[in-house]
Amino acid sequence: MQEAGGRRQEAGGRMQDAGGRMQGFDKCRNLRIFQNLSSSLKDREHTERMKRALVIIPTYNEIENVQTIIPEILRQDERLEVLVVDDNSPDGTAAEVKRMMTENPRIHILERQRKMGLGTAYLAGFKHAIAQGYDYVFEMDADHSHSPDVLPRFLESIEEYDLVLGSRYIQGVNVINWPMKRLLLSYFANQYTRIVTGLPVRDATGGFKCFRVEVLKAIDLDRVRSNGYSFQIEMSFKAWKKGFRLHEIPIIFMDRRVGISKMSKKIVREAVTMVWRLRMQSILGRVR
Ligand SMILES: Nc1nc2c(ncn2[C@@H]2O[C@H](COP(=O)(O)OP(=O)(O)O)[C@@H](O)[C@H]2O)c(=O)[nH]1
Ligand SMILES: [Mg+2]
């Protein structure tokens, strides 16, 4: 940045010289002040634009969804890039993403050999984001349950907070098209999580969120144990315990229209025990 700023000043200087020759030094003073001001505004704008945000999308058999969701995401803000983490989807999701990559350099892919779960897919994406120097890192589903229109609001909030969570439960219940059974499960799972862990958020299991990369660097990613919904709880809990600032913004969650859910009873069982493990870690001062 300094180098860029320096170059800009030099350019400003050259313009002053030209102006000086034409109109005399004093007459150019106001023009110079104006030039310096506008150049410093441009510098600030430039610095902000330099922030890079990576939207990580884990996929398993989402070929139709990636075709539509990725362009919608990229349209929201020029700072956004997308990383698909695909687990060798039999429907050819990865091949489709690679085709899209030939047309747009803001799309990336990480391919894994087999279906290994949502949590480890995100962990692989987080490590990539850290290594590649991104500033903000999003989690987002491929299936249009999370609306890309909210991404600009996340980008605003992440300027002030360290972890911004999309919440279905801060303005009533904003879930569309879920069977009542699943909604009740999610709602009470969240109450249960809050009681057991103390995590002060309304929606701890949601998967639409944005981390400052510093949060990901502070958490020992190799020690993150959970893989399903409790992965979301574990990441937010660890961020909170490490003193980072969490903030919830309202989102509307829509059930998928295309493809099938990978939700299972095993994922629910994992969450039930994980919250107790987190509480124990906290009591013993072992949150890493
Ligand atoms: N890479 C990868 N992605 C997964 C896996 N399981 C689920 N996903 C993706 O995670 C996101 C959320 O999963 P989904 O089945 O919609 O869960 P639901 O919304 O809770 O029913 C989707 O983009 C899925 O394609 C997995 O094992 N590996
Ligand atoms: Mg879904």
* Burial zone of 139 (CB within 10 Å; 0-12 exposed, 13-18 middle, 19+ buried): buried
Q: How far is the CA of 64 from the centre of ligand 1 (A)?
A: 14
Residues 112, 108: Cα–Cα separation, whole Å? 14
263 Cβ inside 6 Å of ligand 1: yes
Least confident of 20-29, 69-78, 124-133, 172-181: 20-29
Residue with tokens 């919904």, as numbered in its chain: 229
Pair 57, 142: CB distance under 8 Å: yes
Residue 102 maps to which CATH number? 3.90.550.10
Q: Tell me how many domains the chain contains.
A: 1
Range of the domain at 144: 50-283
pTM of the predicted structure, to 2 decimals:
0.84
- CA-nearest residue for atom 11, ligand 1, is 141
Q: Which of 217, 44, 40, 228 is nearest to 121 (CA)?
A: 228
Nearest atom within ligand 1 for CA of residue 260: 15
Residues 14, 67: Cα–Cα separation, whole Å? 49
Residues 283, 173: Cα–Cα separation, whole Å? 32
* Burial zone of 9 (CB within 10 Å; 0-12 exposed, 13-18 middle, 19+ buried): middle
Q: Does the structure show a pLDDT above 50 at 3?
A: no
Q: How many other CB atoms are found less than 10 A from the CB of residue 27?
A: 11
Q: How far is the CA of 58 from the centre of ligand 1 (A)?
A: 6
Residue 189 counted as domain residue: yes
Q: How confident is the model over 237-279, as pLDDT tens digits?
A: 999 999 999 999 999 999 988 888 877 788 888 888 999 999 9
Q: Which of 103, 102, 85 is nearest to 94 (CA)?
A: 85
Nearest atom within ligand 1 for CA of residue 60: 25
Higher pLDDT, 279 or 32: 279
Structure tokens at 263: 């939700």
Nearest atom within ligand 1 for CA of residue 121: 1
Residue 52 — pLDDT band, cuts 50, 70, 90?
Answer: very high
Q: How far is the CA of 174 from the centre of ligand 1 (A)?
A: 20
119 Cβ inside 6 Å of ligand 1: no
Structure tokens at 205: 């299991």
Q: How many other CB atoms are found less than 10 A from the CB of residue 224?
A: 19
121 Cβ inside 6 Å of ligand 1: yes
Residue 44 — pLDDT band, cuts 50, 70, 90?
Answer: low
Q: How far is the CA of 231 from the centre of ligand 1 (A)?
A: 12
Residue 20 counted as domain residue: no
Residues of the chain above pLDDT 70, percent: 83
Residue 228 counted as domain residue: yes
Residue 22 counted as domain residue: no
Residue 92 counted as domain residue: yes
237 Cβ inside 6 Å of ligand 1: no
Label each residue of 235-259 as H, E or C.
HHHHHHHCCCCEEEEECCEECCCCC
Pair 205, 271: CB distance under 8 Å: yes
Q: How far is the CA of 262 from the centre of ligand 1 (A)?
A: 6
56, 59, 138, best to mutate for ligand 1 pocket (most atoms within 8 Å of CB):
59
Which 3 state secondary structure label does DSSP give 53? strand
- Mean pLDDT value across residues 125-149: 97
Residue 1 counted as domain residue: no
Q: Collect all residues with Cβ–Cβ distance below 8 Å to 287 and sequence separation of at least 6.
A: 237, 238, 241, 242, 278, 281
Pair 225, 277: CB distance under 8 Å: yes
Residue 286 — pLDDT band, cuts 50, 70, 90?
Answer: confident
Q: How confident is the model over 82-104, as pLDDT tens digits?
A: 999 999 999 999 999 999 999 99
Residue 33 counted as domain residue: no
Q: What sections of 85-179 are H helices per DSSP?
A: 93-103, 118-131, 151-157
| End-to-end Cα separation, the chain, in angstroms | 34
Q: How far is CA 56 from the centre of its chain?
A: 7
pLDDT of residue 234: 97
Residues 197, 282: Cα–Cα separation, whole Å? 9
Nearest ligand to the CA of 256 is 2
Residue type, 213: V
Residue 44 counted as domain residue: no
Q: How far is the CA of 186 from the centre of ligand 2 (A)?
A: 13
**Max Cα separation, the chain?**
80
Residue 2 — pLDDT band, cuts 50, 70, 90?
Answer: very low
